[in-house]
Amino acid sequence: MNEQITILISVTALMFMVIGGLSLIANYYTLNGIKSKTVGDGQHGVARFATKKEITNTYHPVAFQVVKWRKSENLPTEQGLVIGSTGKKSEVTALVDTGDVHCLMIGAAGVGKTAFFLYPNLEYACASGMSFITTDTKGDLARNYGSIAKENYGYNIAVLDLRNPTRSDGNNLLHLVNKYMDLYRQDNGNFSARAKAEKYAKIISKTIVSPDGNNAAMGQNAFFYDAAEGLLTAVILLIAEYLPPTEIDGQLVDKRHIVSVFKMVQDLMAPSQVKGKSQFQLLMDKLPSNHKAKWFAGAALNSAEQAMASVLSTVLSRLNAFLDTEMEQILCFHSSIDAETFCKEKSAIFLILPEEDNSATRS
């Protein structure tokens, strides 16, 4: 009997020890146990405003002297984003972030996103020699800063006005392909120029057919989109290499543009006079066996007749976005600024996008 009482007392004591230990552990790992630590007591982090020393170490101070800048005096050498300022109205010092960063400005209407943030950044970009692209719905940026960038800072200016395409500068998508294909034709041994023409043709095709760059998501239809990219690349190269300028009203007009590509693909879908061969196959037969256009179109060229028709239809459907009489005034003429000029020289592109017209924005 005494042994049973002893066992019961031992078990009871052990149970109380376990319960007490769990209570101590639970209390130790609550927020109450870290009140004395130097991390904001663990509840709110350490967010705070930067000190003057931290601001000086992080950002580059630049005297914001617009009057002198527009006279080509005291131009800043540091390129970056203006994210703030200090000083009086007549003696403003800009705080410039010279790192390779992105910046998102969010604010309600009327708080000064354009006047107090975008305009100072455009002015600083011009003064420091940075090329830039702006998007606008009303054209205010082009009106207010287009002439300043051109006349005061010597910039190349292009205004792509999708609101009024007939008054817009040109943007021929095939411009760089045509440029390097012409260099190759002038110097038949210049394979570097030929390679660049092919590279830009592939970039255009990828952008048009697969703007998201992921054909794998197409599932079983991935073949048609991959083949469509190759076929479109081939047609672009053929247009750039073999379509001669046409004389209209005594002037030579270059018709190597995206609308001509559409018309050529449409013609290739017409029935041929040769049984068992499409117009596309007959065209490819005329090319040398080592011609790159023939290689790019190989997937469509060696597929069944129905599959080839599907590939051609895919290309036509992607090119439909460029069939617009107004848009042709932009796409069918010489480009004011191409990608290479934009990277090598001081250039500014003002893109005016009408927010009420979704079709123009998508194009």
Average of per-residue pLDDT across 19-23? 73
CA distances from 143 to 36, 183, 256, 342, 350 (A): 59, 36, 31, 20, 10
pLDDT in tens, 113-138: 888 999 999 999 999 999 999 998 88
pLDDT class of 245 with cuts at 50, 70, 90? confident
CA distances from 245 to 184, 232, 239, 254, 329 (A): 17, 21, 11, 5, 18
Q: How deeply is 103 buried, as exposed, middle or buried, from its count of CB atoms within 10 A (0-12, 13-18, 19+)?
A: exposed
**CA 173/CA 55 separation, integer angstroms:** 44
Give the distance, in angstroms, between the CA of residue 296 and the centroid of all CA atoms in the same chain. 25
In this model, does residue 30 exceed pLDDT 60? no
Take residue 317 and report the two structure tokens written for it: 């459907």
The total of other beta-carbon atoms located within 10 Å of residue 119's CB is 17
The total of other beta-carbon atoms located within 10 Å of residue 270's CB is 9
Place of tokens 């068992």: 276
pLDDT class of 234 with cuts at 50, 70, 90? very high
Residue 93 near residue 64, CB atoms below 8 Å: yes
pLDDT in tens, 147-172: 999 999 999 999 999 888 888 999 99
Q: What is the per-residue pLDDT for 5?
A: 75
Take residue 210 and report the two structure tokens written for it: 């697969």
What average pLDDT does the structure give for the chain?
A: 84
Average of per-residue pLDDT across 316-321? 89
The total of other beta-carbon atoms located within 10 Å of residue 218's CB is 13
The more confidently predicted of residues 287 and 271 is: 287
**CA 275/CA 280 separation, integer angstroms:** 13
In this model, does residue 37 exceed pLDDT 60? no
Q: What is the per-residue pLDDT for 359?
A: 56
Residue 334 near residue 172, CB atoms below 8 Å: yes
Q: What is the per-residue pLDDT for 357?
A: 61
Average of per-residue pLDDT across 245-260? 82
**CA 290/CA 286 separation, integer angstroms:** 12
- Spatial strand order in the sheet of 156-161: 132-136, 347-352, 156-161
